[in-house]
Amino acid sequence: MTEEPIMKTTLRSDELSCPTCVDNIESSLNQTEGVSKATVHFNTGRIEVEHDPETVSEDKLVKIVGQSGYEARISQF
Amino acid sequence: MESLRKLFRSLANPSKRKKVLVIVSGLLITAGWTADFFWGSALLFNTLMIGAALVAGSEIARRAWQGLQNRHTNIELLVTIAATGGLAIGVYWEAAAVTFLFLLGGWLEARTMSKTRDTLRELINMAPETAIVVDDGDRTEIPARQVQKGMLVLVKPGAKIPVDGIVESGGTTVDESAITGEPIPTEKHPQSEVYAGTINQNGSIQVRATKAGGDTTLAKIIRRVEEAQEEKAPTQRFIERFASWYTPGIVGLSIASYLFTWNLELALTLLVIGCPGALVISTPISVITGIGNAAKKGILIKGGEYLENAGKVTAIALDKTGTLTTGKPTVSEIIHFSKEAALAGVDPEEEFQKVHTVSLSDQNNQSLPSEGEELLYWASIAESVSEHPLAEAILAEEQAGHITEPDQFESHTGQGIEAALGDDHIFVGKTEFMKQKGVSIGEGINNEIQNLTKKGRTVVLVASNNELLGAIGIADQMRPNAPKMISRLRENGIERIAMLTGDAQPTAEAIAEEAGITEVHAGILPEAKNDIILEMQKQGYQVAMIGDGINDAPALASANIGIAMGAVGTDVAIETADIALMSDELMNIPEALRLSSKTLSNIRQNVVIALVTVAALLAGVFTGSVHMASGMLVHELSVMAVILNGMRLRWM
């Protein structure tokens, strides 16, 4: 049995304006298949996602955050 | 068909979607009021308002639904219930206003908030994407984070330096303000250290990379700033606890008030004001802006908690060496005996009368008398294997070239060193050390030593084969801004300023007097520094300790706030201190405390704005003067007020 490849992706959204939206984004990412862990930091707008890139791509993550109403982009660090 | 598809595609972009929905529902509301004003048409008015509520509400309801699917209730759900209820009981204008204002507020707040995150974005953008690697004359451009340690990187004039490293060839000036906050460019020669994210100004240099990508000083700063901004201040934690029962409390209140009064509109209005927006954002907005602004000036504050503590400081304890002074001691005087006296003297006691003090600053590069050279020669042999900071000063002065290392060497910490080379025994150290070793010290030289000590010099005596050769006066220059910093601190209301140092009392007092410090604790060990800080705290002071971050670690840790100086390039200082100053600029100390107290009062103002708004809204709802639309308006205005107030910190 091969282990699932886990990738760490950092997204950034400068738009987060209400700490409750953190819960919205976090829960929708965490409910997505292929995402093992998602953490949203309100103050800096940093979104850390551990995911399996085969099941859910980086672009898909950006789209999911977008559905919660916030524009995000992929960041190097 | 193509344009419709284009419209849909752009609606997938959340910012554009929000903008389009806000504009459309805003237009519908305006049209509704126009219809009402000119034609008094209730039907048209209601239809347009329902349309506006549906347009703006669709986005809110979609987010509420998304939350429910993830088994999670959110503010959007409350607003959706309130607006749906509003439509059901026929208050169409209220329903339209609530949804429109909620979207408009969210959109404006997002735009403003993204401004507060500018500092971080600027820092991240400081790092260039690529580096030009030189290998045997071949130049290749590769991604900056793929540069390996030891690679040679070419940096052209005007380009940003892509890695941390050592200049191998070439010379230039570098603008290091991104890292140190220091606006004056620094000169760089071969062997100078350079940092990623700084700007090469006028010369072409080749840099041997030591760190790249995530290991660079810049990346560490970014990470620190980020962690600092994410760490919750005590006020933020308190407010979040409050907010976590505020929303359920309001929902409960809404249900209870409906059961008691059967007034559905009152219950729905309560739901509208159920979002603790201004409250939860009050502290973070000030913390992010305060820490961001400080970072731009080269002041790294580790987190909201430290910001709050630093804002309350009433007393300061500071280390002398490396903080008030440059920490780079240099030889300032040499005391030696005149040889002719020794040769001509019939009485050996005679030589102690002929003592000469040579001040090196008056010397203007003239060569020392041979006795002075000899003194430095012996001292250098002994010091060549020592790691004491004073040793460096002595070795820097000895220009004879190659120094022989001693055969034997023993260091007596805080006292002196003894070394042996062939048949010669050398002692270098304090007066007491010489006495212990049985070296006799004449009255003439003793007076000269006292004189130098009173001037703030550290005096080291040199003896070879049990005979005193003379002494070396070493000065650690005070930083030019020290007196200005001390008076600024007093102006800013710091009641007590104490200097803590391991140096001798006269040396310490000379510097303290020059800087304007009256409380001096000299000749103490690092543990004792710690005790003094605990004592100050017992007397009710909030103490900030300022040191170089390495020797003062215990004292930095026990103080309410530990501030480390000159942290660029020293990871220890960045890690251990609560506030790290990237440059050696002393004026950044009062600046850090000033920014902290400004931020602290900004947080307090924001909490007051938020609490007053909540109280006023609740009172307004129950006295019947606040309805759904006005409730949402006041709520969104209070969020904007808090954000804008926090943003003032950018210019402080």
Q: Is B526 exposed, middle or buried (0-12, 13-18, 19+ CB in 10 A)?
A: middle
Task: Quote the CA–CA distance of A74 and A7 in Å, as a whole number.
Answer: 13
Distance CA A38, CA A42 (A): 13
Burial class (CB in 10 A: 0-12, 13-18, 19+), B120: buried
**Percent of chain B whose pLDDT exceeds 90:** 27
Collect all residues of chain B within an 8 Å Cβ-Cβ radius of residue A11: none
The CA distances from residue B95 to B91, B523, B624, in Å, are 6, 74, 17
In this complex, is the C-beta atom of A20 within 8 Å of any C-beta atom belonging to chain B? Answer: yes
What is the H or E stretch that residue B148 is in? none
Closest by CA to B287, choosing from A17, A45, A15, A43, is A43
Mean pLDDT of B76-88: 91
Q: Is residue A1 part of a domain?
A: no
Where residue A2 falls among pLDDT bands split at 50, 70, 90? very low
Residue B572, pLDDT above cutoff 70: no
Q: Which of A15, A24, A30 has its CB closest to that of B110?
A: A15
DSSP per position, B154-187? EE-TTPBP-SEEEEEE--EEEE-HHHH---S-EE
Q: Report the C-alpha gap between A54 and B450 in whole angstroms.
A: 77
Cα of A56 to nearest chain B Cα, Å: 18
Weakest-pLDDT range from A19-23, B259-263, B264-268, B478-482: A19-23
Catalytic residue among B164, B175, B319, B584: B319
How close, in Å, is residue B612 to chain A by CA atoms? 19
Distance from C-alpha of B129 to C-alpha of B266, rounded to nearest angstrom: 57
Torsion angle, alpha carbons of B250, B252, B258, B263, to 10: 10
Residue A6 pLDDT greater than 50, yes or no: yes
pLDDT, mean over chain A: 83
B305 Cβ contact list (under 8 Å, min separation 6)? B231, B232, B233, B234
Contacts of A27 in chain B (CB under 8 A): 67, 70-72
Determine the residue among A27, A40, A44, A59 to mutate to test chain B binding: the one whose Cβ has the most chain B Cβ atoms within 10 Å: A44
- Report the pLDDT averaged over residues B507-527: 86
Helix (H) or strand (E) holding B56: helix B42-69
Is A58 part of a structural domain of the chain? yes
Task: Output the pLDDT for position B517.
Answer: 93
Amino acid, res. B331: V
Q: Does B340 touch chain A (CB under 8 A)?
A: no
In this predicted structure, the answer to whether residue B186 has a pLDDT above a threshold of 60 is: yes
User: B36-66: per-residue pLDDT in tens?
Assistant: 888 888 889 999 999 999 999 999 998 888 8
Q: Which residues of A fall within a CB distance of 8 Å from B287? A: 43
What is the amino acid identity at position B285?
A: I
| Interface contact B70-A28, CB threshold 8 A | yes
**What whole-number distance in Å separates Cα of residue B548 and Cα of residue A47?**
35
Q: What mean pLDDT do residues B131-155 have? A: 88
Residues 582-641 of B with CB under 8 A from A: 639
List, in order, residues 6 or more apart from B622 with CB less than 8 Å away. Answer: B266
Q: Give the residue from B244, B280, B196 showing the smallest Cα distance to B73.
A: B244
Average pLDDT for B486-497? 92
Question: Cβ distance B494 to B314 under 8 Å?
Answer: yes
Q: Give me the pLDDT at residue B389, please.
A: 67
ipTM value: 0.84
Cβ <8 Å between A43 and B15: no
In the stretch 63-102 of chain B, residues with CB closer than 8 A to chain A read 63, 66-67, 69-72, 74-76
Say what the pLDDT of residue B297 is: 87
Residue A35 lies in a domain: yes
Confidence of residue B536 (pLDDT cuts 50, 70, 90): very high
Nearest-10 crossing angle of helices B264-272, B75-88: 150
Q: Is residue A25 part of a domain?
A: yes
Q: Is B407 a catalytic residue?
A: no
The answer to the question of residue A33 being in a domain is yes
CATH of the domain at A44: 3.30.70.100
Answer whether B217's CB lies under 8 Å from B569's CB.
Answer: yes
Separation in Å, CA of B464 to nearest CA in chain A: 59
Count Cβ atoms below 10 Å from residue B102 Cβ, excluding itself. Answer: 26
Q: Chain A within 8 Å of B519 (Cβ-Cβ)?
A: no
When scoring B18, B60, B70 by the number of chain A Cβ atoms within 10 A, the one with the most, hence best to mutate, is: B70
Asked if residue A36 belongs to a domain, the reply is yes
Q: Return the amino acid letter for B533.
A: I
Tallying the residues shown for chain A, one arrives at: 77
Hey, what amino acid is at A73? R
Q: Are B616 and B635 in contact (CB under 8 A)?
A: no
Q: A2 in a domain, yes or no?
A: no
Indicate whether B532 pLDDT > 50.
yes
Q: Report the alpha-carbon distance of residue B270 to residue B18 in Å, rounded.
A: 25
pLDDT, residue B352, reads 45
Report residue B439: phi and psi, to 5°.
-90, 130
User: Best residue in B230, B239, B244 to probe A by mutation, most A CBs within 10 Å?
Assistant: B230
Q: Which residues of B touch A71 (CB under 8 A)?
A: 13-15
Residues B102/B60, Cβ–Cβ less than 8 Å: yes
Q: What is chain B's mean pLDDT, rounded?
A: 84
In this complex, which of B13, B106, B643 lies closest to A66 when CB atoms are compared? B13
Collapsing DSSP to helix, strand or coil, B345 comes out as coil
How far is residue B72's CA from residue B78's CA, in Å, rounded to a whole number?
12
Q: Is A73 on the interface with B (CB under 8 A)?
A: no
Angstrom distances, CA of residue B136 to CA of B10, B130, B133, B146, B159:
50, 19, 10, 19, 22
**pLDDT tens-digit series, residues B331-381:** 888 888 875 544 544 455 544 457 778 777 665 556 677 777 888 888 888
Residue A71's pLDDT band (boundaries 50, 70, 90)? Answer: confident
What DSSP designation does B320 have? I
- pLDDT tens digits along B419-445: 888 888 899 988 888 888 888 888 888
Interface size, chain A vs chain B, as Cβ–Cβ contacts under 8 Å: 103
Please, what is the angle between helix B277-296 and helix B118-126, to 10°? 40
Nearest to B563 by CA among B379, B387, B316: B316
pLDDT of B209 reads: 93
CB-based burial label for B433 (10 Å; 0-12, 13-18, 19+): buried
Residue A69 sits at φ, ψ, to 5 deg, of: 105, 10
Is residue B75's pLDDT more than 70?
yes
Q: Give residue A25's domain range.
A: 7-75
Say which residue, B207 or B397, is predicted with more confidence: B207
Q: What is the pLDDT of residue B361?
A: 66
CB contact under 8 A, B229 and A43: yes
The pLDDT of residue B533 is above 70: yes
Indicate yes or no: CB of B70 within 8 angstroms of CB of A41: no
Structural domain total, chain A: 1
Query: Which tokens belong to A67?
Result: 């559905």
Give domain status of residue A21, yes or no.
yes
B18–A contact, CB cutoff 8 A: yes
Least Cα separation, residue B268 to chain A (angstroms)? 20
**Closest Cα in chain B, distance from residue A3 (Å):** 27
- In chain B, which among 110-169 make CB contacts under 8 A with chain A? 110-114, 117, 120-121, 124, 145
CA B262 to CA B413: how far, in whole Å?
84
Mean pLDDT on B211-223: 83
Which DSSP state fits B322?
A: I
Query: Is the separation of the CB atoms in B88 and A40 below 8 Å?
Result: no
Q: A9 in contact with B at a CB cutoff of 8 Å?
A: no
Q: Count CB neighbours of B339 within 10 A.
A: 14
Mutate to test the interface with B, among A43, A47, A63 (most CBs of B within 10 A): A43
pLDDT of residue B177: 81
Query: Residues B239-280: pLDDT tens digits?
Result: 878 877 888 888 899 999 999 988 888 899 988 887 777 888
Chain B residues whose CB is inside 8 A of the A41 CB are 226, 230
Cite the beta strand spans of B126-248 per DSSP E.
130-135, 138-143, 152-155, 164-169, 172-175, 186-188, 193-194, 199-200, 205-211
Q: How far is A1 from chain B (nearest CA, A)?
A: 31
B625 burial level (CB within 10 Å; 0-12, 13-18, 19+): exposed
Q: Is B120 within 8 Å of A42 when comparing Cβ atoms?
A: no
Quick one: pLDDT band at residue B231, thresholds 50, 70, 90?
A: confident
User: Which of B120, B213, B281 is the closest to A18 by Cβ?
Assistant: B281
Residue B448, pLDDT > 80, answer yes
What is the reported pLDDT for B232?
79
